Amino acid sequence: MDVVVCVKQVPDTEQPIRVRPDGSGIDDQGLNWILNYYDEHAVEEALRVREKHGGTVTVVCVGPPRAAEAVRTALAMGADEAVHVADPALEGADHLAVARVLARVIGQLRYDLVLCGRLATDDNASVVGAALAEYLGLPQATAISKLQIGDSLATVEREVEGGVELVKVPLPALFTVERTINEPRYPTLPGIMKARRKEIRTLGLADLGLEPGEVGAQASRVRYTRFEPPPRRQAGQVVTPDSPEEAARVIVRFLQETAKVL
């Protein structure tokens, strides 16, 4: 079972994220760049599939040169091989364009399964996975919380409104994973040492036979025009009531008179 995992490097959102004063982007001073959490789960799931069924795990990443570090993390977790597409012409590419680049890379690999994180915690878009499945012509299931590989068929669970669906999907297929699917392993020291020696195949658009006009900003159908800090919530009141009864009355009055839900 050969598995391809798509990964992205994102700023750690557990740290402060600030919008630049001119609204042109986020302030990248002091950002801590990490492997997207959801992608960590995708890598973990790929490793588990390999442990159970044999095969290889190949990591594919589209991103600037610094993203090689996220690729290195995936290798340290245990992935076998890595491809990193870094090209300045991809600046401003939208998600569909990124998916087209990934499809071009993955189309040249051998695979039975493609895994992605359900979303990346930087732009929270959830677009690349399903779009990539389309470009590769693969069946898909998104936001899966369980994966079982059978003979030429995978059974997955995905949460939908009010329930969980059990879906059978023929392989090869693409799945995007929820964080509930597993608990990712930490890279071990030998793993980290080994990852340092592994080669990351770094490619530009020309190596893939792609033109900036096909996958760069010019090809994009959406464009970020500016960024804003979130609207500040109106400061409310904080009270320390004398008794639980008083607290209950204060809350009920609020629900009735201000929120009008009672």
Partner 1 sequence: MQNDVWVVADHAGGNPRRITLELLGKGRELADAREGRLVAVVLGHGLLDLGPAFGQYGADTVVAVDHPHLHAYTTDGYTEVLSALVRERAPWLVMVPSTAWGRDCAPRLAARAGAGIVTDVEALWLEDGRLLTRRPMYTRKVMGIVEYVGSGPHLAVVLPKVFPPAGRQEGRAAQVERVEAGVSEPRSRVVETRSLQRERVSLTEADVIVSGGRGLRGPENFALLEALAAELGAAVGSSRPPVDSGWVPHDYEIGQTGKTVSPTVYIAVGISGAPQHLAGMSGSKYIVAINKDPNAPIFQLASLGVVGDLFQIVPKLTEEVRRLKAQG
Find the shortest distance in angstroms from Cβ 123 to partner 1: 5
Asked if 110 and 2 touch (Cβ cutoff 8 Å), the reply is yes
- Please choose, out of 42-50, 56-64, 67-75, 168-176, the segment that lies near partner 1 by the rule CB under 8 A: 168-176
| Site for partner 1 contains 108 (CB under 8 A) | no
Which two three-digit tokens encode residue 230? 């979130």
Half-sphere exposure (Cβ direction) of 1: Cα atoms closer than 13 Å: 25
Find the shortest distance in angstroms from Cβ 197 to partner 1: 34
Pick the binder of partner 1 from 22, 151, 161, 199 (CB under 8 A).
Answer: 161
| Site for partner 1 contains 158 (CB under 8 A) | yes
Please give the Cα distance from 12 to 35 (Å, whole number): 9
Reading phi first (left if > 0) and then psi (alpha if -120 to 50, else beta), residue 50 is in alpha
Pick the binder of partner 1 from 64, 112, 121, 201 (CB under 8 A).
Answer: 121
Asked if 38 and 179 touch (Cβ cutoff 8 Å), the reply is yes
Residues numbered 189 to 248 that lie near partner 1 (CB under 8 A) are 220-231, 233-241, 244-245, 247-248
The DSSP string of 95-137 is HHHHHHHHHHHHTTS--SEEEEES--TTT----HHHHHHHHHT
Looking at the Cβ atoms of 179 and 198, the one nearer to partner 1 is 179
Please give the Cα distance from 106 to 196 (Å, whole number): 23
Residues numbered 44 to 83 that lie near partner 1 (CB under 8 A) are none
| Site for partner 1 contains 32 (CB under 8 A) | no
Pick the binder of partner 1 from 160, 186, 197, 199 (CB under 8 A).
Answer: 160
Looking at the Cβ atoms of 200 and 217, the one nearer to partner 1 is 217
Looking at the Cβ atoms of 189 and 235, the one nearer to partner 1 is 235
For residue 29, what is the DSSP state? T
Find the shortest distance in angstroms from Cβ 130 to partner 1: 4
